[in-house]
A and B are shown apart, each in its own frame.
Chain A
C-alpha cells in the first residue's frame, strides 16, 4: 500500500463543472501515467520493485480464530417481520414476511463472523438490522452496553459511528455527483468530529489507507474502476473508526483478480484497526478465507453455527452439507468429471408462510414426522458448534432416531410425552456455553 511519492501525477484538481469530454480525455491520458498501484499504469511504479515474493508476502492466509476474544456485538433472538398489505384502497396487513426470525449470535472483538445462505434467507436483512437501517420487530442487539434495537433515531446517532457498512455494488453505493473527498468526508461533517479545515487531511489519510492516491480526493466516482470504487466505499466506512463493520457481499460485484485485492485490504484493515466484521456473502470459499466463524442461515433462521474447521470440515446440518457439496471445486480438475453432490430439489419456500416445524424439512432427505411437528432447537453439540436439526450428524452418519426427543420431551414422532420435563427451550444464548450436549454419549459434557 505504499507508493513512490515522486510518481504521483501532477494533475490539477478538476473544476466541478468540468465537462464530460474533458474528463474523458483526461482519463485517457492518465491511464498510462504513473499513479497509484491500482491503476492501469501500475507497471510504471516498477515491476522490478514488485516481484512475486513481495507480492506473496502481502497476500494473506486465512484469518485465524481468537477463542478468547470478548463479544463486541451480541445479537439475541432478533426478529424482523415485514408486513404484507392487501391490494385495494384499504390496505390491510394480511401477513408477514418473516425475513429474520429469532437469530442469536456474537461477533467477537476484532474478529469476524461470516453469514452464508441462499438468496432470500435473511442475511442481508440481518446486516441492515445491525446497522439499524431497519428497526427490528423484536429481540436485542447489545453493543457497548446499549441495546441498538430499542434506541430511537436520535439516540442512535452517536452509535452509528461505531457500526458502519460496506455495500455490495460499488456502482450504485457512491453518489455520482459528489467528489470522493465529499463522499469520504461526509461522515466527519455529519458527526462534527474534526474542524472543517482538518477534514481534507483526514480524507487523504483514509484514501492512503485503502490504497488510493490521496491526490484524487477531487475526482468523481466515474473516474475509478470497480475495485477502486469499492476501496472508496471502504474508506467511507472507516472514516469514523468503527468498531463493527457490516460487509454485505463486499466483493461479489468485482472481477476475480480484483476480489483478492479487496479481501486482502479488508484483512489488513482488520489487523490494523481491530475492527470486527459481520461478513455477509454467498461465496462459501471467500467466507471460509475471511471468517474463522461462520453461521449458516436458512429462511430467516440460523441452522448451524460454528468455527471454520467444524462448518467446512464436518458439518452436521443437512442444509450445510448440501450447500458445501454444491460448490464447484477447482481441485476437481485433477480427477475430471463432476463431484458427487447432494441435490436439493425445488426452491426456498416462501417466508410469508414458512413450513411448520423445521423450515428445511420440505427439501431435506432425512425429514420425518417429528420435523413437521416440532421445531428443532439450535443445540450446542461441540465446544464451538451449534446445530438446529433433529437428525444432526456427520455426512453419511445421520442418526436413525431424533437426537432431541429427551430434551424436548417428545417421542420419535414429535408428539408430547405426558409427564416429560423438557430441559431445552427454543431459545439459546448468543454465545457458547461451557458445557454441551454430546451426540455420541447423549449426555451433557464439558471441557
Chain B
C-alpha cells in the first residue's frame, strides 16, 4: 500500500486495440542456476481473445506456470532472462518497468493460485486483503467504498453472509470458500485477463464443480480472457475453448479443445489421454502410462524433447526424432491445429493402434460413422 503512481486506466483505454487481448510471441524464459542455465520455456506463441478460455496442460516442469508468471511479470528481473513478446491489451509487458507493471497487475490482469491458504495472508482479515487490492488501483476511493466493494465481491462469488464473513481470517474459511475469496480478490478490479493456475487441484470434486461454475459465470459477466492451467483433462474438456499442450518448455500441440481431445496428433497428448482413467469409459479400456519421467531441463534431450519417452518413434524413418527438433506445423484436421511431431500418419496410428486400447467403445462409433 505504498505510494503507487496512479494512472487509472479506464476500460475504454484498455479496449482501444485490435486483435486478441493477450498475445504471446516466441517467449523464452531462462533461469541461471548453479548447474547452468535452465530454459524453462522457449518458442512459445499463443493468444487469447476476450471472452475465450485457453487451457494449458502439461506435467510439472513443463513450463506452464513459468510462462504465465512471465505474463504477470512475476519473475525476478535480476535472475530470469525473458525474451520474446507479451502484449496485454496492446501493451508490451516484456521489459516494462516495475511501476508500470504494477498498474497492470491486479488491474488489467489477475492471477488465482492453487493453494488459497498459502496465497492469502494468514495475519490479515479477508476483507482487509480485498480492500487493499481495490485501493491500490483506486487511489481516490475511500476506505468505506473499498469495504463496500469487498462485501459486494464476496457476495458475487457466493460467500454466505458476506457482511459478516468479511471480517474473518483466512483460517476461518473452508477450502472452497478460501478459493472463492481469492477469486473475489482477483476480480475486484474487473481485470480483462484472468490466469487461473491449477485453481481446483486441491479441492473436492463437488467444490471443484462449484468453482468452475463460478469462473464461467464471472467470465460471461465480465467478458474477460481466461487462461486455465491444469493437468486435469476433464476440466479442460469442460472449460476451455483452445488447448495448449506443453512438454519440456515447448508447445507440442495447439488447437481447439475438440481437436486436441478427440483427434490428437502428438504422441505425448495420446500418452496423457491414455494414462488417465475416465469415469464414463469402458472398463475394457487400458491404462497405459507414459514410460519414464519428464526430462531435466538442464540437459534437454536432443531432437524432439519427447523422443526418449515416445513409443511411436519407431514409425519415423531413421533417427530423425533424436536429431531434429520437429517444427510446429499444421495438423491434418485443419490449420488452427498445430503439432510438433515427425510422425507421417498420426491419424492412422491413433485410430488403428492407440484408440482400440484406450477407448474401445469409440472405435465402434468411428467405424459406424465411416460406414
Contacts and interface: CB of A to CB of B under 8 A. Distances in A.
Interface of A: 24, 28, 31-32, 37-43, 47-48, 50-53, 55-56, 58-62, 118-119, 225, 227, 255-261, 263-264, 282, 284-286, 288-289, 308, 312, 322-334, 336-339, 341, 343-344, 346-347
Given A28-B35, A40-B292, A330-B237, A59 B312 contact: no
A31 B35 CA distance: 13
B235 A55 contact: no
Contact of B279 (A31, A41, A61, A329): A329
B231 A256 contact: yes
A60 B287 contact: yes
A361 B162 CA distance: 24
Contacts of A59: 274, 286-289, 357
Given A255-B294, A333-B257, A48 B277 contact: no
A332 B237 CA distance: 6
- Best-surrounded residue of B205, B207, B308, B311 (most CB of chain A within 10 A): B205
A260 to B, nearest CB: 4
Contacts, number: 206
B32 interface: no
B311 A51 contact: yes
B292 A37 contact: yes
Contacts of B160: 346
Interface residues of B, number: 71
B105 to A, nearest CB: 29
A58 B289 CA distance: 9
A118 B59 contact: no
A328 B261 contact: no
B234 A327 contact: yes
A325 B294 CA distance: 33
Contacts of B59: 255-257
Contact of B237 (A53, A255, A288, A329): A329
A56 B35 contact: no
Interface string B278-309: 11110111111111111110110100000111
Interface string B248-275: 0000000001101110000000011111
A61 B283 contact: yes
- Best-surrounded residue of B237, B271, B273, B310 (most CB of chain A within 10 A): B237
Contacts of A47: 307-308, 310-311, 313-314
Contacts of A40: 292-293, 295-296, 308
Contact of B293 (A56, A227, A326, A334): A227
B97 interface: no
Contacts of B277: 62, 263, 285-286, 288-289
Given A289-B287, A332-B237, A323 B272 contact: no
A61 B278 contact: no
Contact of A61 (B212, B286, B296): B286
A395 to B, nearest CB: 14
Contact of B205 (A52, A259, A323): A323
Contacts of B309: 42-43
Contact of A285 (B261, B279, B286): B279
Nearest to B36: A28
A338 B293 contact: no
5 closest cross-chain pairs (CB), A and B = A328-B234, A43-B308, A333-B261, A42-B292, A260-B275
- Best-surrounded residue of B207, B287, B290, B308 (most CB of chain A within 10 A): B287
Contact of A52 (B175, B204, B312): B312
B253 to A, nearest CB: 14
19 contacts: A40-B296, A42-B291, A47-B308, A56-B288, A56-B357, A59-B274, A61-B284, A118-B205, A263-B277, A282-B205, A284-B205, A284-B279, A288-B283, A328-B237, A330-B234, A333-B257, A333-B258, A333-B260, A338-B213
